[in-house]
Structures are given as structure tokens and as C-alpha cells.
Structure 1
Amino acid sequence: MPSAATGARGPAGSAGPDEAGEVRRFWNGLGIPGLIDVHTHFMPERVLHKVWAYFDAQGPLTAGLQWPIAYRKAEEERTSLLRSFGVRAFTSMLYPHKPGMARWLNDWAAGFARRTPDCLHTATLFPEPDAEAYVREAVEAGARVFKAHVQVGAYDPADPLLQPAWGVLAEAGIPVVIHCGSGPAPGEYTGPGPMARVLARHPRLRLIVAHLGMPEYEDFLGLAERYEQVRLDTTMAFTDFTEELMPFPRRALPRLADLGDRVLLGSDFPNIPYAYTHQLRALERLGLGREWLRAVCHDNAAKLFGL
């Protein structure tokens, strides 16, 4: 079982005393103006606390792993911490686990974006009859990125109820960060097959595959190689925690390097069991070079979102 303390700068789930300084030294060394993190979680506090409780209880979707939340802080503290790190822009990844949740989550996220200008206005969706309507409403209200979670929602992303919504997002060019890989625990509809069916129908859909699609890394690299609008985020990939459980195949690193213009930094902040700096150092130690790191940590997202 992976140790939550591995790669952290202190006891399990904790960070060092000068973490902000360490993060800033990292990106200053790359010559970029800060970081853009496309996979951070902000949601209504009572919903987030339920998520934390699920991790604490080692629920089935966590594969029974010990998963202490490193940044279990109030909303204002979490936004302040990201700013102290020099994160120029971040997201409020939120997702429904049943029908009837998405619209009110989108209402909350719109309010959060209004009071948090460095947050990219985020929205979500679920396969239900009014999905197209509220997705269109969110786009018209200024949503810049969507979140979908196939594992938690336990739905087929190729469900006919979602097809019109995917069409709206493809037409609008709005990126969708989607947890569709089978890690840390597989679901009925996780894996590359369902996403391949979605992309066959909506090839212009700007999908950002969360967690590099772990553990089906190579299959999702294949989708990105086939569809020019498919991207991947680095969330939790290459960290000691993940490498013990779902290691990235080193034979695939050249393919990841070749897709360097379509890989984006993601962290899963605050729901990570190690220090934020560890994600950055895990990417650095791949040895793919400064230009690759610059693109992943800032430039690719800056271009995608016009920042």
C-alpha cells in the first residue's frame, strides 16, 4: 500500500514551513510568471466535507488507500495558499453523483468565480434530460471549463442524454476535464472505450483527460495522438504515492514528450496526501527538459484559456 507520507516534506499529509517559497523558486527557475493548475477542487463546503469524509473512511473509490488530506483548510485559506504559491489561475472542479445536482452546483460555481477572479469559471454535468439546457446556460453565463467524473457519477459518458451537451461544448470550444481512467478503482464505464465512442461522435470536443488517464496511460495517449483537441492533465501522476500503485510505463515517456503542447499541470489540491511541491518535483525528475516543464506548468494552459 502506498505511504501517504512518501514524497512529502514532513509527517503524512503535511508540507514544509517554506512551501510557498519552494513553489515560487520552482517556477522562477523555469522563467515563467507563475503556475496554472487546471485541476483544483472548490465546491460548497458541506459537499467538500463529505468528500473529505469519504477519503477518511477509505471508501471503495479510493481503493481502500490511506489518504490524509494535506490541505484540509477553510475556503479562504485554500485560495490564499494557492496565491502564495504563485498559481495564476486555477479551477473549481466539482461534480454530481446523482441527477438533480449539476444545476445547483453550477450556480454555486458561478458565484465562486465572481468572488474569486483568479478561478476559471467551472461548471459540471450529468446524464439527465435537462443536461443540454443547463450546460448551455452555464456556457452563456461565462463558464470556461467543465468537470466530468465518470467514476464517481457511475455513468456512461456516451449516454444519449449527454450527446447534446457534448455537442454544445464542442461547438463552444469549452474544455472538459474528465476523470475517465480506471484509477484508483475501476468503474463500469471507466477506461478508454466509452471516451473513444464520445470522441468518434464529437471529434472537436476539447477533452482534458484527468490523471493522464491512469492506469490506462498508453490508451489515453493514443486518443490524444488521434484527436488533436484531446489533452491530458498531470494530476497525481509520477508522484511517489501513485507510482507505487499505478506506475507510468517508462516506455511511454517519449510519447508524452511528443505531446508536450497538450499536457497541462493538475494537482488535485486540496485533496492530496502529500505536499503540493511534490507534484512539481515529480514532473521535474522525469527529465523531459525545461521547455516541456514550462509548457506543462504554464504555457499550454495560458494558450488554451487565453490568459
Structure 2
Amino acid sequence: MTDAQTHDWASEAVIVRRFWERLGLPGLVDVHVHFMPERVLRKVWSYFDSVGPLTGGVEWPITYRAEEAERLAVLRDFGVRAFTSMLYPHKEGMADWLNTWAVDFARRTPDCLHTSTLFPEPGAEAYVREAIESGARVFKAHVQVGAYDPADELLDTAWGLLAEAGIPVVIHCGSGPAPGKYTGPERVGRVLARHPRLRLVVAHMGMPEYEDFLTLAERYEEVRLDTTMAFTDFSNRFAPFPRRSLPRLSALADRILLGSDFPNIPYSYVHQLEALERLELGDAWLRGVCHDNGARLFGL
């Protein structure tokens, strides 16, 4: 990390802290942060650098490209008091290995919410049960990258276990920044019809099918949405949130959660906060989104 980066990130930390201090918060709770084995993360970064199809052909510079310890230090300087380690498989046989890594990461990173993942494969029920028993507090599902149907029968028992345990699942199921074979609200709706108490947290506000996923949240009281990349200048270029739905966003004030996609974002962390503030939904809404809703969900 260069001295210029150190200065930039340190200066940004002052602005981020000023944001949540003004709201009277003890810090931020970010439900969409990526930590994973370093060699896996570097492959993810390489994919973004190559402007692969899943990025929608959009240039995607990684703003917080640094070693693990440095990334943790940045989050803590920002005042993020709890965060996830979103990790996800793209093929069979990978989820269990990632979950083993996540156990160790959570043990050595007390401010990380122990995160696990899953994939539709024989044995998914067993390793999901094991992850729950080992203390997992949140799961990550990535329908776009994994290219799987969330309503696949191979996942049905796992969804049931997670619903029964009340463990939230942050799920990338919207069709942004590029659609996948199984993205969109319809298949997730099938999962919720079978498991209405499942605590799904729809990543990226369901971008670009925002209104369809708001409808699911209105129908199922345990469905939440995270703000990851939504409302930012970057996303507004290709998937702007419809202003006509701001009243619905306001009405769901207790079920919107801060997400950032740190470190894999092509702009500054503070811009996500500023994008939320300029929605003009009020300080009470911001307090819930940036801290209180996540703190309540995870019992912080």
C-alpha cells in the first residue's frame, strides 16, 4: 500500500466517522463485505480487471485492493463495528472448503460475523448443518456466479435448516450487473413459498428488479434488502432505483440493511453512505439502515 493510499484512506475515515457520529450511532454494521481465501480473492479481482461478462462489460477498478490485514484496518478505521465475510462457490465441492476457512477467519477476527455458504450438491444439508453447529451467523448465496436455481431440490432441506435456525442468508439473486440463467425474483419467490420464515437478505436491493424484490419483502416479513451499490452514481448509470418506489423503501425502514461490497467497489466507501443520505428519507431511516437494523438482526 502506497503512502498516497494510506493518506486517502485515512482522510476518508474521518469523513465516514463524521457521518455516523452525526447520526448518534456507535459505528456501522455492514452486512455485505468480502473476505475469502487470498488466492480466491485474487481470482475475483482478476475477473473484475478483465471486465468479464458478469460485470456487464463495465470497467470495475478495485478501490480497496490490499492485503487482508490492511483491509481489516481500513474497516476498523471507518468504524465498521461488525461485518461479514461474504464468500461463495462457483462449482461443486467448493462450499465445504470455504466454510472451513471461514471458521478460522471468524475465530481470529472477532468483529466479523461468522459467514458460511452453500451450493446445490449432494451433501449440502450435512455441511450446512455443520456450519450452523459451528456458530455460523450468516450465509451467502450467489445465484449469478454459481449459476444455479435457488429452488433446486438439492437446497430445499438446507433452506429449511436455515429458516428453522433463523440464520440470515445474503443472496445475490437480482439480474445486475448482468443477468444469469436463474436470476430474478421468480425462483426466489418459489423458495420463499416453501420456506416463508427464511431470513433472506436480497443483495443490491435486487438490482435491477428493485420493485419486484420490494414486493417480496412486503409479502414475507422476514425478507430484507441490502443497499450494496444501490443508489450510487456508478449503479445509477445502468440500473437507477425508481424514485416512485421511495415511499415503499421508507415503509420498509426496519428491513433495509447497509451493504457495501468492500473491498470490491469501484468508488469510495463513503460514497455509498452519501448515496443513502441523498435519498432524503430522514435521519431515523439512516440510523436503522446503517446500524440499528443490522445490530437487531444479529443481536449485537
Decide: shared fold, TM above 0.5. Answer: yes
TM-score, scaled to structure 1: 0.95
Within a 5 Å distance, the mapping from 1:137-152 to structure 2 comes to 137-152=130-145
Q: Does 1:231 align with 2:224?
A: yes
Q: Please, which runs of 5 or more residues in structure 2 have no aligned partner?
A: none
- CA shift, 1:15, in A, is 5.0
Counterpart-to-counterpart distance in 1, 2:117 and 2:160: 15
Q: Does 1:272 align with 2:265?
A: yes
Question: Could you tell me which amino acid in structure 2 is paired with residue 79 of structure 1?
Answer: L
Q: Find the counterpart in structure 2 of residue 218 from structure 1.
A: 211
- CA shift, 1:79, in A, is 0.5
Residue 93 (structure 2) aligned to one of 91, 96, 100: 100
CA, structure 1 residues 89+17, in 2 after alignment: closer, same or farther (shift >3 Å)?
closer
Q: Does 1:260 align with 2:253?
A: yes
Is 1:203–1:227's contact at 8 Å kept on the other side of the alignment?
A: yes
Is 2:10–2:77's contact at 8 Å kept on the other side of the alignment?
A: no
Within a 5 Å distance, the mapping from 1:73-88 to structure 2 comes to 73-88=66-81
Question: Could you tell me which amino acid in structure 2 is paired with residue 220 of structure 1?
Answer: F
Within a 5 Å distance, the mapping from 1:60-71 to structure 2 comes to 60-71=53-64
Q: Find the counterpart in structure 2 of residue 46 from structure 1.
A: 39
Is 1:41–1:270's contact at 8 Å kept on the other side of the alignment?
A: yes
Question: Could you tell me which amino acid in structure 2 is paired with residue 27 of structure 1?
Answer: W
Residue 25 (structure 2) aligned to one of 7, 15, 32: 32
Q: Please, which runs of 5 or more residues in structure 1 have no aligned partner?
A: 1-10
- CA shift, 1:169, in A, is 0.1
Q: Find the counterpart in structure 2 of residue 250 from structure 1.
A: 243
Q: Find the counterpart in structure 1 of residue 114 from structure 2.
A: 121
Is 2:149–2:187's contact at 8 Å kept on the other side of the alignment?
A: yes
Q: Does 1:207 align with 2:200?
A: yes
CA, structure 1 residues 135+159, in 2 after alignment: closer, same or farther (shift >3 Å)?
same
Counterpart-to-counterpart distance in 1, 2:10 and 2:219: 44
Is 1:15–1:70's contact at 8 Å kept on the other side of the alignment?
A: no
Q: Find the counterpart in structure 2 of residue 174 from structure 1.
A: 167
Counterpart-to-counterpart distance in 1, 2:154 and 2:188: 15
Is 1:264–1:297's contact at 8 Å kept on the other side of the alignment?
A: yes
Q: Find the counterpart in structure 1 of residue 295 from structure 2.
A: 302
Say what the alpha-carbon RMSD is for the aligned residues. 1.1
Measured against aligned partners, the alpha-carbon deviations of 1:140-182 in whole angstroms (never above 9, x if no partner) come to 0000000000000000000000000000000000000000000
Instruction: Provide the secondary structure at the position in 2 that maps to 1:187.
Output: coil
Query: Identity of aligned pairs, percent?
Result: 77
Question: Could you tell me which amino acid in structure 1 is paired with residue 122 of structure 2?
Answer: P
Q: Find the counterpart in structure 2 of residue 185 from structure 1.
A: 178
Measured against aligned partners, the alpha-carbon deviations of 1:173-224 in whole angstroms (never above 9, x if no partner) come to 0000000000000011000000000000000000000000000000000000
- CA shift, 1:17, in A, is 5.2
Counterpart-to-counterpart distance in 1, 2:67 and 2:238: 30
Instruction: Provide the secondary structure at the position in 2 that maps to 1:184.
Output: coil
TM-score, scaled to structure 2: 0.97
Instruction: Provide the secondary structure at the position in 2 that maps to 1:18.
Output: helix
- CA shift, 1:31, in A, is 0.4
Is 1:15–1:274's contact at 8 Å kept on the other side of the alignment?
A: no
| Higher RCO structure (Cα 8 Å, ≥6 apart) | 1
Q: Which aligned runs of 4 or more in structure 1 are off by greater than 6 angstroms?
A: none
